[in-house]
Structures are given as structure tokens and as C-alpha cells.
Structure 1
Amino acid sequence: MYQFGARHMVDRLAVENALGLTREHLLSRQMADGSWSGLVESDPRVSAFYLNTLWSLGRRHDDRTREIEAYLKSEQLDCGGWAAWPGGGADIDVSAVCLLALRDPATHEGRSAAAAAKAWLAAQSFPAADLFWKGYLAINRELKWDDLPYFTTRLVTHPRWLHPNVYDFSVARVAIVALALIQAHEAQPEVRQSLRGEPRPPGASAGEACFVEWRDRWIANTGRPIRGFVPFLAEVTRWFDSVVPTDRHRAVAIQWLLDRQESDGSFFSSVHITSLAIIALHVLGGGIYRDRIEAGLAAMHKWQVVDDRGRRQQFTDSTNWDTGLCMDLLLRLGVPPGHEKMRRACNYLVACQNRHAGDWSRRTTGVEPGGWSFQRIGKWYPDVDDAALIASSLLEFADRAAEQAARQAIAWIIGMQGADGGWASWDRDDRSWTRFKGAGPWLAGDPACADITARAISLLSKVVGGKRTGYADLIGPARNALARGLRWLQRDRHGNRWLGAWFTHYLYGTSQVAEAYRNAGFDPDHPDLRAAREWIVSVANPDGGFGETPESGRMKRFASGPSTPFHTACALNALVYAGAARSQAARRAARWLLSRQNTDGTWTNDDFFAAGIPGLWYANFTLTPTCLAARSLLAFTEFRTVGGAHEGATGLLRQEEAGS
């Protein structure tokens, strides 16, 4: 039994039993192709996006739509609105999207939900009049396309040196091209009465009258022009395109969009982008692009789930991420690389490694493909986070295919490092100037962030440490990239913590950085690690666990929440790697996790911790809490060896500290 003082003992046997349960559960959950894939839970607006796609395509109600209406009703709060995340309260944006999807309900549940939503919305302020809502209301024929800032199809044909071009817009570029094509085709569509409906009939309720007034004022407010230099430039471009023909540019833009449809029919492997892309193809000629549109709908159908709440839409799948997490954990738990299921997982990941020069290649020179996408299928947008996670595990396999895949991934990750030393998800050197005032958060960028930079550093520390044979030629480039990345992390510290972009937010970011620091050779007494562990201890909940809400992403400061397995795992991991594995806070966090494990070896998060768009839209990747909880408990039990496990990079770090 681990005993640290008279209080809060942690039974080693209990930890071993818990980890054994997790090990057996994950081995039993592996799919035939070697992958793992958990559910992706998100807010109801994702299902509403699917319904709105159908109405925009001119489709009618069917069994799917009726089941989704039942789901939307089941998720509606008593007040009549819908929440952006569990426990978050009614959200104006989510509620307005859901009501638009229910504008012509076919079921009693749908009609009841729409009536309650109208009553709630009528008492609220308006959603922000940003680019998302201008576009969404234009798709629904509530606004004219002229009410949006103009995006020209010339963006696709502009050379790399001429700005703006389509590659300046990072992850939003597929949506930008779809919008540009719709605007080019429908410069001035007739506004129809979709949400507005018929004039209020005699005898309509006072509540209905209030909603009608609110609705009309909302649409008028959203139609107001966005001011600023970028919108002014867009208007100049609109005038230029009205004078100089754009037929050639439009044809190139259509082909650009078609090329970015994945083999499963999706665009950017997400419902949101797929929806807008197939609506654009429908506008351009539904008959011409019928097969493409049906393929997009089939991809969305593949991500739907049916249970006692009805039918709901997942926004994507998390297969490659889940497979990388599970393989990493099982290797750490002692499942040998030669185990049949580890070989199967390795073969799956090697086979689906990205070997295509996607849009990321437009910001690099001489960098060969080598990443992985988050989803099972993702030719155009591999991301650094998944690549670093998977490559780190592949280093444990002693066969040529795994070694070659790891080498390609490491070289690609080094090539994706930004000029400032940090790493982002899908691109390098984010062009923040494209996010003009009034555009809103949906025009997302991809700046370097602490969580992905930390994961890249942990991988490169393995390479620099020289403990893996066959990578000697990569040690020099990896050492340089590692040094630059560490300097970036030291600059990016937010006081005594780090802000993670893609999981909520400060607990995860600080956990990732603490682990990266130790992997790279930092001593636990380094000032950054001392400050981090003191902060972690200070935000523990009274029950010994840790929690953080998505409000952290909105407010850009820590927002504590009820304890969850995900956040408690992050905190425990941070404490261990920051040198506080013997602390009371670490012991209490470990006890909290042990007491919340399910009988099948899993852990369940009821909140949303994964940021689809930081500060706006969140999800729950349901396998992630289990992997992180087990991983943190394992690190907790092995704390005696953590400090000496990464000697290979220690010399580099001492040089860095001496030079700072």
C-alpha cells in the first residue's frame, strides 16, 4: 500500500485492479480493423444543422427527421431554450439554431418544442450579428446575400504571395469557398418567409405576437452591415467582380471545393462544413452534383445515433484520436507491441497515415506528408496533435513499416512548426488579420497553442534522447525544433498556468506542459513547474477532484466547475509531472478517480470538455476520460521513476536555462 503520512492512503492493489479493468475493457472494445471509436457527444445545434441542411436542399420529413424532433424536445430545458453544454443554462445561439430547424415541425414533440422556444426567445437579447448569423439567415432566405461581406471566388486563384487568398483563412477556408460560390450564383435572391411565416392571424396569442416582434427586430439587426477595413475591401471587390467577369475563377473554385470532398462524402470530416458545402453544390445545380450531395448526406447519416432520446447527430467521429489514445495507454499498461491487438492497431494507423499534400502544404516548403487526421478519414486536414500522439506510440514498435511511419510523422511535425516556435493543429503561422471585427468566432483561426506544442515537445524529447534506434538523422532537426518550442512555451505562460486550446482549458493546458517540461528534462524545482503545481493545488474542489467549465474559453480565465474524471485526470497528471506526486492533493485526486470508476473499467464525463471552437462550441469524446484517468493513475503509481526517465534531453534544457 502506498502510504504518505497518516491521512489519505492510496491502496496500490486498488490502483492495479482499476488499471487491469481498464486494460481488459479497452482490449475487448477494439474493432476488427484494429481501431477504437467512441461516441462524440455535443449540443443539440449539431442535430439542428442536419435538419436545416435537409430543408435547404428541399427535402421533406421522414422517419429520421421525426426522430430528431423527438431528440430536440428531450434536450430542451424547462425554460424553452437549449444549452450549449450540460449545466450551462439556455444559450441564445443554440436555441435560435434549433428553432430554425423546427420552423415546420412534423410531430407533436416538434411543435411543442418550437412553441416553448419562441416564448423563451421573445424575452432575450439578439444573437450577435456576426458572419455566422448573416450567412445562416441568408441560407434560410431571411436575409439577402448582399447583407454579408463579399467573398470573391478570386480568392482561390490568387497566388500565394497575393493576399488575401484562400489559404489565409485556415480551417474556415472550405466554408469561405462555399460562401463565395453561393454569393457568385445568388447575388440577390428573393427573400422568402421561412422563419417569419404567415402574418399573425386574428386571435393569435400574446406570446406569438411578442415572438413575431422579436423575430423581425432580430433579422433587421442582423442585416446591418459590418464596418471596417476588411468589409470595405470586400465591397470594393464586389464592385470589381460586377465589372470584370469571374467565370474562370468560379470554375476553379467549384473544382477546388469538389476536390476537398473526402472519400466518405464529408467535407473537413464535420457536419458543419459538410452542410454548407452540399448546400452550395445544391445552389450551383442540384442535378449536376446530385451524387456529391447524396454522399455528403450519407456521411452525416453515418454519424447519427439512435437511443431512447431519439435520433441525434454527432458532428464527426474521433476514430484516429481514440485509437492513438488507446494504443498509448495499453502500451504504458504493459501490453507488449507484439500483442496481436497492438499489432492490429499499429497496422491500422500505419495504413491510414496521411500521404497527401493537403492545404497545410501551401504554407510550407519541402515538407513531405506524414500526419494523421483526428477522424477515420481526413485526406486534406491532418493535425499535429494526432500525429504526435500516434508517432510517439509507433516508436515502440520494432518493425520497418512502423519505423517509416514514425519517421515521416516526426519530419512532418518538425516542418509544421511555426516561425514563432509553436505548433498549431492544421496549419502553421496563423493569419490573424483575416478575423476582422464583427466576423465572430465561427471564422476560426488556427494559432499555435500550448497543448499541441507541449505534445510535439514530448515526442521530440524521445527522439533527442536517442533511446530509439534508427532516428539518428532526425536528432539534429528535432533538437532545434525542441529548443524553439520550449522557448515558445515559456513565453506563453499565463501567470502560473497555460491555456490549452482544444480541451478545457487551463487544467488540460497546464497538464500537457508539465509533462512536456519533464519529458524534456526540466527539474521539478524549475520555477514554471513550482508555480504550476501551486496553482493546481489551489483549484482543487472540496471533494478532492477537479473541474473546469467551458466558460474558461469564453472568459479567458479559469472557471471552476464540479469535479469530473477528465479534469481530475488532468490535474493529477500535472501534479505528478510537476513533482508533487507525494502531495495530499495528488493522493486525494487519485482516490477521487478510483471511487468514480465504472464497474466495466471506464470513467464517464457528463460535461463537455473538448472545444470544437474554443469559447463557443464543445463536445465530449467519450473514450478520452477513460484513457486520461487510467494514464494519470499509472503515472501516479510510477512517480519514483518519472524524474529519471528522460535523461536524453536534460542537457539541452540545461543549456536553454543557462542561455535565458
Structure 2
Amino acid sequence: MAADGSTRPQLPLSGEDLERVVQNAQAALGRQQQTDGHWVYELEADSSIPAEYILLEHYLDRIDDALEQKIAVYLRRTQSPEHDGWALYHNGGFNLSSSVKAYFALKATGEDINAPHMRRAREAILAHGGAERSNVFTRIQLALFGDVPWRATPVMPVELMLLPRKAFFSVWNMSYWSRTVIAPLLVLAALRPIAINPRQIHVRELFVTPPERVTDWIRGPYRSIWGRVFKGLDSLLRPTRSLIPASTHEKAIQAAIDFIEPRLNGKDGLGAIYPAMANVVMMYRALGVPDSDPRAVTAWEAVQGLLVHKDDEVYCQPCVSPIWDTALSGHAMLEAASGPKGIAPQETLQDLRKASKWLREKQILDVKGDWAINNPDLAPGGWAFQYGNDYYPDVDDTAVVGMLLHREADPANTESIARARQWILGMQSRDGGWGAFDIDNSKDVLNHIPFSDHGALLDPPTADVTARCISFLAQLGNVEDRPVIERALTYLRKEQEKDGSWFGRWGTNYIYGTWSALCAFNAAGVSQDDPAVVKAVEWLRSVQRSDGGWGEGCESYEGGNHGTYSESLPSQTAWALLGLMAAGRRDDPAVLRGINWLAAQQDDNGEWHEAPYNAVGFPKVFYLRYHGYRQFFPLMALARYRTLESSNTRRMAFGF
């Protein structure tokens, strides 16, 4: 017991204290397991989605005042005291589009626009160019409320839904999230409905130039010459819209509906992501579908399922993450249960069996999703990210679940692992890497069309997802998979940054990517003296903070330094430690300092805390805070350190 009476360990960390830290963390994580065996934590984005939810209620005239007042509490709390607007992540800089939405939503809930916080927000928005300079999705939201003309949005004719796969602008050349968001949005853009907006809330005060006088809504910034080319094409297409035959227009709307309805996922919603789900709700209303229609009822319920209710506030998640949370929690619990002698308590084994059974039942075995457009002969076998999203299994989730089931060594998992392996093998792209949901989804020029001002229309291969697939296949150890692994290792080597790190597409950021890659190299049997490994290790050492931890801010996606932040964070410290241990550096002084820091940060309930965001949806546009990362990753790192203490080789025999 420490001098202050707490149970926090004394430093330097003794073996007894380490064991206590691991056991306390294991117990804390175990308490979060659901009765059916799975884990699910909150998944938080920025203020945009809670604000959009309020506006959705006003669009539909389905206003729940009590609920909206609680969302308003969340929006007021997340307004920055530094720049008076709203950021995309914790302590981030001013973001014009999220600020416009948050202000609009607060005004809709009845906030006095002359209240100090609203006045400051309005002044900040005007100082940054006004609502006319907000992004495409915000301008579409404003168009739905009649605050800007539809010419403020790029030309995206619903006839895109009729284009075959080989057509350049086909939706099949876009990512899963783009397809599911765009399909109902194209219908809305074709019908151009106006929100009911019963209280007639508008935000003309946010415009520097009155909307009717703005002559150039689309003016960059252009990321290449293609941006200017497509801007010209947009101008040429505008007058041709009226030339499209009505029959073709109606056929295209029906094609969009025919795409959407098989993918509605019941209560999980289209694509199981908020923007697509909300667009479907608005689409049905625009099509004249009654709210009592089962399709409309279920679509509305799906959106409601994303709300997180707390005592004094409510916010809306972008989606839910139960498969991901369960797989990662399972890895952490299995690591903790292994112990120095590799003996797991029977109760822990039973809890893990429950988790594995739940995961097996969620494997997608009978739906050929959109991924099959590029590999129609491949049998399904993946897992989605959410509870239900059968058309869109996630390669990353599938690899992580597969590794957990394999490590657990339960014969009941054999068939699931085999199906997952075959699916992962079939999802490899031509360059040797893996994307998250699609194969060869790499037509980068599409990211330069005016609609894609967010630059995230595609799902190309990435280092972190590729690393996870290498780890999974290498852990299974099938000799015939070696050529696939070698191609992927070549891809990883090409993706290594000059400083030795790897970009983290789905986690913040270079620390996440580097941890992922080092695990893959370890699992694949690459020498710990390999130059790529050594360079990565040296980089991780170089960005360790003076207190012994590691931290990295979302600023690193926006030109900031790799692997740095104003404070150390439990999740990123754990990633760095796991990466160093994967590289055989368990006894490195940097690892010992990191372990000591993690142990010292654990509270008396066995938990860790961090406020900064730790993941990314789309770099520079959309960031995420996984509330579970602060718990299961530190447990995994501490338990791994303890487990490796008794290892003669100090090399892990598994891929994660």
C-alpha cells in the first residue's frame, strides 16, 4: 500500500506490484463484460453528429425537447474556451463546419443567439469565412433547411446509381461508407425536399455574404490539378440536369432504393453508420413513405440506437463497436489470464468461451457483401465492426477476431478460423496490402471531385490493416500462405516512413501504425535485427516522453510531428510498449520506464483515464475516441510484459 493509503504500486515496480496491477485491471475489464459474453464501449466523435441529430428531429418535426436539451448540454460543454467554436477532437483547433452545425443545433433547441457563448461562436464562424465556406456535407444540411440554394452543393446526379462497375464515376469505385451515405443522399439531392422545421429556425446570421449573392460555392482548396478539372466538369454538368429524361430519373431513384433496402440491417441501419442511417430516414420522408411504414419505423429506431444517455447529457455515436471491443478485450483478458506459468483460472476461461461463442455467432457466412464485386467467387467469412452489418464485414476486425479464436485453442473455433482465413486471403489487393472493407479501392483521382472535399471517398490498403492480416496469417502458420505474407511484408516495407514509423490510418497515429507493423514483423518471423525493425525501435525510443509514457495528438494527421503530444496517454503508451516488446526489446530501459508509468496511472478501481481522441475515421475530417482503449490496451501491455518475463526467447509466438 502506498503512503497515501491507496493500493497504487511503489516504483520501481516489483513483481508483486505488477501482478496486482494486472489482476486489478483484469477485474475491471471483466466487470464490463455483458452477460452474453461481449464487450461494448462508447464510441465518441465530435459535436457534428449530435448536432445533426437535433437538426434531423427538426427536419422531420419529431422534436423531443427533453432529449434535445440534454444534447445541448453536451454541445455547450464541448465548445472550446480557446477559440469559441467546436473542434474535431479534444483540444483541437477551430473547425468551421462542426461549428456551424453546433450553432445551428443549439439555436434549434431554443438557445438565445445573443447569449455570450452563442455570440462568441457566431463571431468565430464569421471570422473564418462564414457558413458559405463550410464543407460539402454542411452545405447539404443547410440546403435541406433552405438556408442555401441547392447550387451550393456539387453536382451529384442520382443517375450515378445506374453506372456499371467499370464506369469511372461508379459508386462501386467508392468505399463502403461512401456508397451507403451517397445512395440515399442522391435521392435527396434529386427530390430537393425542404425540412418541416416547425419553429422556422435559420442561420442567415452565419453568412458573411448572403447565400443568394454567393456566386462561387466550390472553390477548393484543390489538392491537385484534378480538383480544377472536376470543378470545370461540375460547371458543365449543371445545365444538363434538366435534359435527363424523367423516365431515366425515376429509374435511377429506384436503383438507389433497390441498392439501399437489402442493406438496411434492420435495427442496425444502412451501413450501421449514422450519416447513412439519417439519410435513409430523410429519404423515406421525401419519398412520401409514412412514418408508420415498417421501413420508416425501423430506420428511425436504428438512429435512436446510437444515442448515449447519461444523467445530465446525451450525445449521438457515429456507430457502435462491439466486435472490435470484444475481440480486443478478449486478447487482453487472455493475456492476463495466461500468467507466468500459462495457467488460466477456470472462471476466466469460461468468460472467454462466452465471448468466443458470441463472436462465432456474429461471423458473416451467408451474405456476399459489396466486397464480392471484385471477387465474386470468394466465400464470405468475415466479421463486421458493429452488431449487424452483413454487407460490410471489416478486414481488420476479422483478423483480430481470428487471432483471438486461434489463441484460445478451443476446437469449436476451428471452422470459424478456417472461413476467416480464406476470406482474408481473398481480400488482398494487388499491391500486397489490405484495405478495411474493399479490394483495390484505390482510384485516388476520385478524391479530387468537388463532392469529396473531405478527401476520404476511398478505402485503399493501409499499413495497419495489412499488418493485422500478416499477423493473423502468420499466427496460423499455414505454409501455403507464405507467398501472400511475403507480398504483404514487401508492401509494409514500402510504407515505412523515413523516420522509421508507419502511418496509422485507423488509430492515432504513427505510434499505432508502428506498433501494428512491428507485431506483423514479429509474427512473420522477421529478424529483430532487420533494419526496418531497428529503425522503428529507435523511432519509438526517440518519441518517449520524459515521464516514461508516450502520447500522440490528432495534430499529427494535419502536418504535426509524428508521435508527439502534450501529455502521455495510457492507450498510446501501451501501443508503444507492445511494439517494442514485439521487436524483442522487453528488457529495454524504455520499456521498463513505460511499464512503470502505466502502473502508476492506474486508479484504485483498476482503470485508466484519458480524454484525448485516440483514433480517426477520416484524417483531417473525422476523429474518434474509443472509450475502451484506455482499459484493454494497458492491460494487454502490462500482462504481455509479465508473460515475457518467464520466456526464454522473449519472442511472442502469436501475432497480436
CA distance 1:646–1:308, shift in 2 (3 Å) = closer
**Aligned residue among 355, 360, 363 for 1:345:** 355
**Aligned residue among 302, 315, 318 for 1:315:** 318
Q: Secondary structure at the match of 1:305?
A: strand
Q: What is residue 592 of structure 1 aligned with on the other side?
A: 597
CA distance 1:371–1:215, shift in 2 (3 Å) = farther
Matched, 1:166 2:177: no
Contact 1:418 1:429 in 2 (8 A): yes
Q: What is residue 181 of structure 1 aligned with on the other side?
A: 187
Contact 2:523 2:654 in 1 (8 A): no
Matched, 1:404 2:404: no
Q: Give the C-alpha shift of residue 481 in structure 1.
A: 1.4
CA distance 1:397–1:110, shift in 2 (3 Å) = farther
**Aligned residue among 553, 577, 582 for 1:572:** 577
Q: Give the C-alpha shift of residue 197 in structure 1.
A: 5.7
* Aligned AA (1:251): Q
Aligned residues: 621
Q: Give the C-alpha shift of residue 87 in structure 1.
A: 1.8
Query: Which whole-Å deviations, capped at 9, do the CAs of 1:205-255 have from their partners, x for residues lacking one?
Result: xxxxxx566263798377347764445555666626733331222212112
Matched, 1:379 2:380: no
Question: Aligned partners of 1:189, 1:323: CA distance in 2, in Å?
Answer: 39
Contact 1:460 1:482 in 2 (8 A): yes
Q: What is residue 505 of structure 1 aligned with on the other side?
A: 509
Q: Give the C-alpha shift of residue 554 in structure 1.
A: 1.9
- 1:644-659 matched pairs, under 5 angstroms: 645=651
Contact 1:282 1:289 in 2 (8 A): no
Q: Give the C-alpha shift of residue 510 in structure 1.
A: 0.4
Question: Aligned partners of 1:151, 1:67: CA distance in 2, in Å?
Answer: 36
- 1:107-146 matched pairs, under 5 angstroms: 113-126=117-130, 128=133, 130-146=135-151
Q: Give the C-alpha shift of residue 628 in structure 1.
A: 1.1
* Aligned AA (1:451): D
Question: Aligned partners of 1:279, 1:222: CA distance in 2, in Å?
Answer: 27
Q: What is residue 657 of structure 1 aligned with on the other side?
A: none
- 1:232-381 matched pairs, under 5 angstroms: 232-233=232-233, 239=240, 242-244=243-245, 245-246=247-248, 247-287=250-290, 290-333=293-336, 334=338, 335=344, 339-355=349-365, 356-381=367-392
* Aligned AA (1:214): V
* Aligned AA (2:608): W
**Aligned residue among 7, 21, 24 for 1:21:** 24
**Aligned residue among 547, 550, 561 for 2:551:** 547
- Segments of 5+ residues of structure 2 without an aligned counterpart are 1-9, 221-226, 339-343
* Aligned AA (2:389): G
Q: Give the C-alpha shift of residue 111 in structure 1.
A: 6.0
Q: What is residue 473 of structure 2 aligned with on the other side?
A: 460
Question: Aligned partners of 1:221, 1:76: CA distance in 2, in Å?
Answer: 31
- 1:202-213 matched pairs, under 5 angstroms: 211=205
Query: Which whole-Å deviations, capped at 9, do the CAs of 1:271-317 have from their partners, x for residues lacking one?
Result: 22212222222222242784433323322322222334422212221
Contact 2:136 2:153 in 1 (8 A): yes
Contact 1:38 1:318 in 2 (8 A): yes
Q: What is residue 210 of structure 2 aligned with on the other side?
A: 216
Range 44-53 or range 9-18, more displaced: 9-18
Question: Aligned partners of 2:180, 2:213: CA distance in 1, in Å?
Answer: 26
Query: Which whole-Å deviations, capped at 9, do the CAs of 1:376-404 have from their partners, x for residues lacking one?
Result: 22122111111000011111345554111
Contact 1:50 1:271 in 2 (8 A): no
- 1:409-558 matched pairs, under 5 angstroms: 409-430=420-441, 431-438=443-450, 439-441=452-454, 443-464=456-477, 475-476=479-480, 478-495=481-498, 496-555=500-559, 557-558=561-562
Question: Aligned partners of 1:218, 1:368: CA distance in 2, in Å?
Answer: 53
Contact 1:305 1:314 in 2 (8 A): yes
Contact 1:18 1:594 in 2 (8 A): yes
Q: Percent identity?
A: 25
Q: Give the C-alpha shift of residue 592 in structure 1.
A: 0.5
* Aligned AA (1:528): A
CA distance 1:382–1:304, shift in 2 (3 Å) = same
* Aligned AA (1:565): P
Matched, 1:95 2:99: yes
* Aligned AA (1:558): H
Query: Which whole-Å deviations, capped at 9, do the CAs of 1:407-446 have from their partners, x for residues lacking one?
Result: 1111111111111000111111122222125431164321
* Aligned AA (2:576): A
Contact 2:148 2:212 in 1 (8 A): no
CA distance 1:221–1:296, shift in 2 (3 Å) = farther
Q: Give the C-alpha shift of residue 634 in structure 1.
A: 2.3
CA distance 1:70–1:398, shift in 2 (3 Å) = closer
Question: Aligned partners of 2:642, 2:306: CA distance in 1, in Å?
Answer: 38
Q: Secondary structure at the match of 1:425?
A: coil
Q: What is residue 633 of structure 2 aligned with on the other side?
A: 628
CA distance 1:401–1:537, shift in 2 (3 Å) = same
Question: Aligned partners of 1:145, 1:109: CA distance in 2, in Å?
Answer: 26
Contact 2:60 2:197 in 1 (8 A): no
Question: Aligned partners of 2:210, 2:563: CA distance in 1, in Å?
Answer: 36
Q: Give the C-alpha shift of residue 358 in structure 1.
A: 1.2
Q: Secondary structure at the match of 1:395?
A: helix
Range 541-550 or range 425-434, more displaced: 425-434
* Aligned AA (2:591): A
**Aligned residue among 605, 609, 623 for 1:604:** 609
Question: Aligned partners of 1:383, 1:559: CA distance in 2, in Å?
Answer: 26
Give me the TM-score of the superposition, normalised by structure 2: 0.87
Query: Which whole-Å deviations, capped at 9, do the CAs of 1:173-201 have from their partners, x for residues lacking one?
Result: 12221222122223999999966568xxx
Contact 2:149 2:212 in 1 (8 A): no
Q: RMSD over aligned Cα, in angstroms?
A: 3.1
Question: Aligned partners of 2:350, 2:465: CA distance in 1, in Å?
Answer: 30
Query: Which whole-Å deviations, capped at 9, do the CAs of 1:441-460 have from their partners, x for residues lacking one?
Result: 16432111111111111111
Query: Which whole-Å deviations, capped at 9, do the CAs of 1:598-644 have from their partners, x for residues lacking one?
Result: 22222222110111222222122111221111111222234463856
Question: Aligned partners of 1:215, 1:12: CA distance in 2, in Å?
Answer: 66
Q: Secondary structure at the match of 1:602?
A: coil
